[in-house]
Amino acid sequence: MILQIVLVLAAVAALVYFVRSGQNVGIRAGKRLAFGAFVLVNIYAVLRPNDVTWVARHLGIGRGTDLVVYLLVVAVVFGMLNSYLRDREISQHLTNLARQLAIRDAELARREDELAARLDQTATVVRTEVPVASTVTGANGTTAHGAGTNGAGVHHTGTNDTGTNDTGTAGTPPPADPPDPAAPARAERAAGE
């Protein structure tokens, strides 16, 4: 009698754990019903062993214990097959995921290479289209003659009108002269003379 109580409590605990487990969301309803029915049949078999023997004799099996063992073998085989199929499905999903990631990474690498090639081509076009500056006019009206640059920010050194060295940065325009309010009047006087 004590063993029957322990077995029934174990079956009820397994059923409660299965029902309350958060992982059963992905389990199909048929599997849930089959497990519940299996647990209920086991509880009935523990509580009424004579009925199991009667069912076993009508099925051509000598004892109820043998019937229970046979049913457990079928249940274990079913569980193993279910686990195998689930593992195979997960493996297939992982393979597909790895394949998709590899394709995506290859596509990204190809796009990066194309972008780098376009940037190189654009930089080459820009370098060939920017004129070389050989004369820079300073704020004080002096003109510096030097080696010039291609506009890439390379320093140049030259000699200004006064004969002193003048160092500037290529690609940087000279500072703008402040507007002279008397310039229009001087221009008119010069035109009138």
Order across the sheet with 155-160: list the strands.
135-137, 143-146, 155-160, 165-169
Q: What is the DSSP string of 4-23?
A: HHHHHHHHHHHHHHHHH-GG
Q: Rg of the Cα trace of the chain?
A: 46
Q: What is the pLDDT of residue 152?
A: 45
Q: What is the pLDDT of residue 168?
A: 47
Q: Per-residue pLDDT tens for 23-61?
A: 655 566 777 777 788 888 888 888 888 888 898 898 888
Distance of CA 1 to the CA centre of its chain: 59
Contact 51, 44 (CB under 8 A): yes
Dihedral sign, Cα of residue 76, residue 77, residue 83, residue 87: positive
pLDDT greater at residue 157 or residue 127:
127
In this prediction the pTM is 0.47
The residue ranges of every structural domain in the chain are 1-47, 65-121
Dihedral sign, Cα of residue 57, residue 60, residue 65, residue 68: negative
Contact 138, 163 (CB under 8 A): no
Whether the predicted pLDDT of 188 surpasses 90:
no
Most confident of the following: 27-31, 119-123, 182-186: 119-123
pLDDT greater at residue 139 or residue 82:
82
Whether the predicted pLDDT of 162 surpasses 60:
no
Please give the Cα distance from 127 to 121 (Å, whole number). Answer: 10
Beta-carbon neighbour count of residue 45 at 10 Å?
20
- The mean pLDDT value of the chain amounts to 75
